[in-house]
Amino acid sequence: MALARHTRIFVLAAALAAGSVSAAFAQRPAGHLVVIGGGTRPAAVNTLIARLAGGAKGRLLIFPQASAVAETGPELATEFRALGVGTVTVITADRAAADTDAVLRQTDGATGVYFAGGDQNRLMAVLRGTKLEARLQALYQQGAVMAGTSAGAAVMSRVMITGDEQRPLTKDQDWQTIEAENVVTAPGLGLLDDVVVDQHFVRRRRHNRLISLVLEQPALLGVAIDEETATWVKPDRTFEVVGNGPVLVFDAKGATTARDTAGPGLRGSDLRLHVLRAGAVYDLGTRTVRRNAPTP
């Protein structure tokens, strides 16, 4: 049986929300994405964000809401100022404030946005459906760089992995199966419409959850980013791998997929897998590798 239905009811909400996202991105966005898999950010990733944000002439917004640590925002602001970004502003808005003119004014002239790590559900609980979310989408459309690590990477896609599992085997044994209707998702920012991002991927052995998701939703391209690694998504819809670890790409669009008739088990044939490292270039439009070798 072909797998046409979505993983969870949350994904239906994401599909409905996608109409407004698609309208916002009627033209190809002019901005860049720097999607980081968590862990320590390498110098090459940090300097890339600072450069794309405009350096001394740039204006970077920090969103720390995913983190439960109060010092996260100020520490990130200090770090990016030291990297040469001219103006760095920490946006501490809660959900109520995310629809206010006062907060929207804080985003005027922004050339970059950085989403801290933590819990992606905390961040999207503030942003989802607000004027601030729409403003961030518009900034990306107009040319701002959008960067984020861990939770801040997960929110980049339209279908966002929440980190929750519907049927964990035990408290300490998560993602032990490849099954349908197990990976919980929710609407993300939609900056990547047909891609689902996973992070900390190799270090935390998250293969089963992403394989489950792309087998169930073959239209989604699974981009799995390891720690200390980023994908730099450019306006031409190619991404380059930056950093120290691998990026895995799971493509089930041309695969034969099915679900067990007597249970949630998933099956698939001809699933494509790419293992990419620093300097590799992947084309999201054609779903092909342009280069998988270090930059000359």
**Lowest-confidence range among 20-24, 240-244, 255-259?**
20-24
pLDDT over 50 at 285, yes or no: yes
Asked if residues 111 and 53 have their Cβ atoms less than 8 Å apart, the reply is yes
Whether the per-residue pLDDT at 42 is higher than 50: the answer is: yes
Confidence band of 26 (pLDDT split at 50, 70, 90): low
- Burial (Cβ within 10 Å: 0-12, 13-18, ≥19) of residue 98: buried
Which among 173, 169, 180 is positioned nearest to 268, based on CA atoms? 180
Across the range 260-274, mean pLDDT stands at 95
- Residue pair 72/90 in contact (Cβ under 8 Å)? The answer is no
Note the pLDDT tens digit of each residue in 190-224.
Answer: 999 999 999 999 999 999 999 999 999 999 999 99
pTM for this entry: 0.90
Residues 115 and 51: their CA atoms lie apart, in Å, by 17
Whole-number mean pLDDT of the chain? 91
Q: How confident is the model over 15-27, as a mean pLDDT?
A: 49
Give the pLDDT of residue 28. 86
Given pLDDT bands bounded at 50, 70 and 90, which one contains residue 18? very low
What values do phi and psi take at 142, rounded to 5?
Answer: -85, -10
Q: What positions carry a catalytic annotation? A: 150, 200, 227
State which CATH number among 1.10.1060.10, 1.10.530.10, 3.40.50.880, 3.30.70.640 fits the domain covering 9-167+174-279. Answer: 3.40.50.880
Q: CA-to-CA distance for 240 and 226, rounded, in angstroms?
A: 14
- Residue range 74-91, pLDDT digits in tens: 999 999 999 999 999 999
